[in-house]
Structure 1
Amino acid sequence: MAPPNLAARRRELAEAWSSRAVRRGLLGTVLLFAGSLTPAYLPQNSPWWEPLRALGLDSWPVRVLGTALAVAGLGLLADAWLRLRPRPTLVARPWAVCLLWSLPFLLAPPVFSHDAYAYAAEGWLLRNGLNPYENPISVLPGAFADQAAWAWRYTTAMYPPLSLQLFHGLVILAQNNPYVAATLMRIPALVGVALIVVLLPKLADRVGVDREFTAWFAVLNPILVIDLIGGAHNDALMMGLVVLALWLAFDRRFWLAAITVGVATSIKQPALLAAWAVALIDHPWESFRWRDSLRALGRLALATAIGAGVFAGITWLSGLGYGWVWAATVPGAVITLAPTSLIGGAALAILTLLGQPEAAVSAWNGIRIGGLALTGVAMVWLALTVGRRRPLAFLSWGWLLFAFGGIAMNSWYVTWGGLLLPLTRPSDRVVKLSVVVMATLLTYGAGGLAWRNDAIGLVFGAAALLLALVWRHTQAHAQSTLELQEIHR
């Protein structure tokens, strides 16, 4: 006989499977898996190509078909997510839904991003005794370097030392196999997602916000499923550790929470901002009177010092140093969805076309640096206004400000603040805007896939499909809300 806990988990999985929306989402991730087996995100040295070519599946019509399948998969997953928005009749457990939706990605190559291949290549540098802060991936030509995107082959590493050592360990675990090493990058990502799935709903209970809404908005969000699990980004482990640190802070284990922030920062640097929340969750900065300010500033300094000290200790143990500082601008080397990147890229193109290359470069750099400076000012203002008494709101909104106002923005950057947004008690208008942003980011991801597969026309279909789904959901939710209000009257 199965243990009681195991039997309960099986029942919860069965309940999730009984939901038509859950099965629809699973079909969506299966189609995304099929769409990933195309040149868009499948390097030419991938072991997938041998069977695909043997079956005659290396042609333009197949690339178009793969893109269409991926676009359909995005639509199905987004539709399933919207249909699962909390309501009285919804019984599926979020962890079970997330598990079912993730299963196809466990067999897939990294999707919608080449970053996992770059992680493996940086681990390969360490395997050969080279410091990724001093040597770009291209220093070691071969299968590892060939997997990485061209944009990152000639830049040094931007990730903190613990991330690099994890990459190194996973290359060893893969027995130096380039493709296997890239897919194993999902192991730390899955650990991070597991922490999010388990602890974020519990955090919602501690904060006093809707647990089901938090689980729906964050745990089941298509961006988490696609980017953090499918794409194997190290942001997953960073955010899992941040959520753990916040849970520890609510449990009044300040020192352990601050240490966890330091470990998270050693995975990815933006995690250090969580020290603000860890310091003030249990001791808000009530006023600017000198006693309140001195007490708050003291805790902030201590939390930051502990986090930075742990980071420094891990850096010292790694022996790698702080070379990531010189690569901090690397993400901004390509045009992304960040507003300053789009505006700067447009200025660069126009001035170059007008025969002013030097002015073009100056405008490109000036716009991005100016945007980053304004973002910094806005974050300080947010910290001293909202953040004093609502540290979780500052952490969520501050990260979102940084994601949109920085020199680069990718969809997985939005998970930093987006995962915590339900804990801030967002208004219905903010939730609607967030759903639209999610649809836009998914459309952008589909656009990248279509561009690389020479099927750019399909991106317009993706945009129309996702926006239609969002419009239908918004109208249906508004009608449902009105009906519930009438019943309660």
Structure 2
Amino acid sequence: MASFPITGDLRTALAGRMIALAFMVAGLGLMAWAWLEVGRNVMAGQKPRLVRMATYWSLPLLFIPPLFSRDAWSYAAQGALVAEGFDPYAVGPAALSGHIVEAVDPRWMETPAPYGPLPLAYGGLVAHLTMDPYVLMLAHRLLAVIGIALIAWTIPRIATACRVDPVFATWLVVLNPMLLMHGIGAAHNDILMIGLACSAFALALTGHWGTAAVIAGVSAAVKLPGGLVVIAIAAVMSPLPKRLSRLASLALAGVVSVLSLVTVGAITNVGSGWLNALDVPGLVRSPFSIANLVGDAAHGILGFLGQDTAAEQSLEIVKLTGMLLAITLIAVLSLRSSIHHAARAVGIALLAIVLLGPTAHDWYFLWCLPFLAVARPGRRLVTTMAAVSLIFTIAAPLNSSLRGATIPILTTTALVIAAVAPLLNRLRSLHPARHPAVPQPAPQPTVGA
């Protein structure tokens, strides 16, 4: 397509790229609008086939290049590193040459992989068969598809156990356009992590807590936050939050999960060097992280005052404080959450990691979505989750590929605001329909004989 006369000119011209962005934002807006309309029908009591609908919505995304992020190309290159005998936790994709690294974001060319051994070993296996970056990217998209399939299988079961309408939960999570666009479209490996974490919780609710703890470790072998599902597993093992029994349950489930994580690293021969690279995502100062916002503010003020050394130290201190606060909150949730609030505890714990951690991307908010959706959310929380989903779906084109490009950023921002504003206004009607009372006919006077 890039070699065609018309499309080639459009790709290289600013006007052509802006037209493409306008069509992209409009398409995302239509998808978000359709999702809201389906949600209104679900809350009115209808039961559409949501999984089939999500499948149809996903089909156009299966074979296209990655959307909104170039991470999938990094996954392909990191798998190639494993296949070529390099340690992906010691070197970056720059150790390779050729087509395999052409689409990798230059920011990540020299950085080691911050992911667990499971996706890297999988990428290495596929790279032994082919070094075609497109095929490798599709292989990693398959992992995201598997993750969404696991979410679709587990969400109705978890919702039923938590006394939440499974149709509503499926609409809010599985059909969510943010999940489909950032999951299948961008092919992020976070989706497999979420699917495995949900599977661990679902199995724990059926009494198979040992298997659940193993799968929690496998989830952490994709990305470390997936292991936080042990909070829910421990709550299932000791339903009443008595500290001694809960500590014993946490210790037992945690040991099994850690052993599972270590075993995955040993079996795949990838190892645990990724733990030293967990700070790599923190190279991006995301505005979604509260710690980043506070740290950047302190850094800017002290830098303005000429205290450069103190400015750098303040940034690190704020990030460390954010992580300590998140860990403290997770500890409290682990010890005090009953089985009735297990899903909510995991959701809040994951949200704390996102907001208080050193960095946060828009798709990170998917981590907590399944668990909060089944935690008996009230209208305010449902509205908040729907609003965040709408914004992060339509604002997806505002990714790192636009950095430094003032006109595209301003144009895309204006398009996003124009698309999001009317949809957010429709959220007010996103609640169960109230049927007006049917007027009863007036009694007829009795006619005497």
**TM-score under structure 2 normalisation?**
0.89
1:319 aligned onto 2:287: no
After superposition, what is the alpha-carbon deviation per residue over 1:191-241, rounded to whole angstroms, capped at 9, x for unaligned? 111111122112212222111110011111111111111111111111111
Pick aligned residue for 1:441 from 373, 378, 392: 392
The 3 A distance-change label for structure 1 pair 350 and 198 is same
Pick aligned residue for 2:185 from 227, 230, 235: 230
Q: Which residue of 1 aligns with 2:209?
A: 254
Q: Could you tell which deviates more after superposition, 450-459 or 395-404?
A: 450-459
CA contact (8 A) 1:127 1:168 kept: yes
Instruction: Tell me by how many angstroms 1:135 deviates.
Output: 1.1
Q: Which residue of 2 aligns with 1:477?
A: 430
Q: Which runs of 5+ in 2 are unaligned?
A: 439-449
Pick aligned residue for 1:162 from 110, 115, 118: 118
Letter in 1 for 2:362: S
Pick aligned residue for 1:368 from 309, 315, 319: 319
Q: Which residue of 1 aligns with 2:74?
A: 118
Q: Distance in 2 between matches of 1:265 and 1:152?
A: 22
Q: Which residue of 2 aligns with 1:339?
A: 290
Instruction: Tell me by how many angstroms 1:388 deviates.
Output: 6.5
Matched residue of 2:120: which SS? helix
Bigger relative contact order (CA 8 A; separation at least 6)? 2
The 3 A distance-change label for structure 1 pair 354 and 448 is farther
The 3 A distance-change label for structure 1 pair 485 and 188 is farther
Q: Could you tell which deviates more after superposition, 187-196 or 414-423?
A: 414-423
The 3 A distance-change label for structure 1 pair 305 and 68 is same
Pick aligned residue for 2:256 from 306, 310, 321: 306
Q: Distance in 1 between matches of 2:342 and 2:2?
A: 49
Q: Which residue of 1 aligns with 2:233?
A: 278
Q: Which residue of 1 aligns with 2:37?
A: 83
Instruction: Tell me by how many angstroms 1:365 deviates.
Output: 1.8
Pick aligned residue for 1:99 from 52, 55, 72: 55
Letter in 2 for 1:224: L
After superposition, what is the alpha-carbon deviation per residue over 1:259-303, rounded to whole angstroms, capped at 9, x for unaligned? 111211111111111122123225313434xxxx2x332222111
Aligned residues: 432
Letter in 2 for 1:265: A
1:399 aligned onto 2:335: no
Instruction: Tell me by how many angstroms 1:468 deviates.
Output: 2.1
Instruction: Tell me by how many angstroms 1:110 deviates.
Output: 0.8
Letter in 1 for 2:277: A
Instruction: Tell me by how many angstroms 1:429 deviates.
Output: 0.9
Q: Distance in 2 between matches of 1:342 and 1:88?
A: 40
Q: Which residue of 2 aligns with 1:241?
A: 196
Q: Which residue of 2 aligns with 1:34?
A: none
After superposition, what is the alpha-carbon deviation per residue over 1:432-458, rounded to whole angstroms, capped at 9, x for unaligned? 122222233335423237835742223
Matched residue of 1:390: which SS? helix
CA contact (8 A) 1:238 1:265 kept: yes
Letter in 2 for 1:362: Q
Pick aligned residue for 1:451 from 387, 402, 408: 402
CA contact (8 A) 1:110 1:183 kept: no
The 3 A distance-change label for structure 1 pair 284 and 485 is farther
Alignment of 1:350-361 (within 5 A): 351-352=302-303, 355-361=306-312
Alignment of 1:289-304 (within 5 A): 293=244, 295-304=245-254
Pick aligned residue for 2:335 from 375, 384, 395: 384
After superposition, what is the alpha-carbon deviation per residue over 1:287-323, rounded to whole angstroms, capped at 9, x for unaligned? 34xxxx2x33222211111111011111122233221
Instruction: Tell me by how many angstroms 1:52 deviates.
Output: 7.6
CA contact (8 A) 2:69 2:399 kept: no
The 3 A distance-change label for structure 1 pair 65 and 354 is farther
Alignment of 1:123-134 (within 5 A): 123-134=79-90
CA contact (8 A) 1:162 1:314 kept: yes
Q: Distance in 1 between matches of 2:22 and 2:400?
A: 10
Q: Could you tell which deviates more after superposition, 422-431 or 353-362?
A: 353-362
Letter in 2 for 1:400: L
The 3 A distance-change label for structure 1 pair 122 and 60 is same
CA contact (8 A) 1:396 1:418 kept: yes
CA contact (8 A) 1:67 1:449 kept: no
After superposition, what is the alpha-carbon deviation per residue over 1:140-198, rounded to whole angstroms, capped at 9, x for unaligned? 2332222111221111111111121012123334x111222123211111111111112
Q: Which runs of 5+ in 1 are unaligned?
A: 1-47
The 3 A distance-change label for structure 1 pair 414 and 52 is farther
4+ residue runs over 6 A deviation: none
Letter in 2 for 1:146: E
Letter in 1 for 2:380: R
Matched residue of 1:424: which SS? coil
Letter in 2 for 1:345: D
Q: Distance in 2 between matches of 1:286 and 1:387?
A: 5
Letter in 2 for 1:477: L
1:62 aligned onto 2:16: yes
Q: Distance in 2 between matches of 1:52 and 1:69?
A: 20
Higher Rg: 2
Letter in 1 for 2:37: R
1:139 aligned onto 2:59: no
The 3 A distance-change label for structure 1 pair 351 and 198 is same
Matched residue of 1:57: which SS? helix
Instruction: Tell me by how many angstroms 1:350 deviates.
Output: 5.1
Q: CA RMSD in A?
A: 2.4
Letter in 2 for 1:136: G
Q: Distance in 2 between matches of 1:165 and 1:473?
A: 43
Pick aligned residue for 1:202 from 132, 154, 157: 157
The 3 A distance-change label for structure 1 pair 450 and 485 is farther
**TM-score under structure 1 normalisation?**
0.82
Letter in 1 for 2:197: V
After superposition, what is the alpha-carbon deviation per residue over 1:457-477, rounded to whole angstroms, capped at 9, x for unaligned? 231231232132111231x23
Matched residue of 1:260: which SS? helix
The 3 A distance-change label for structure 1 pair 296 and 354 is closer
The 3 A distance-change label for structure 1 pair 350 and 468 is farther
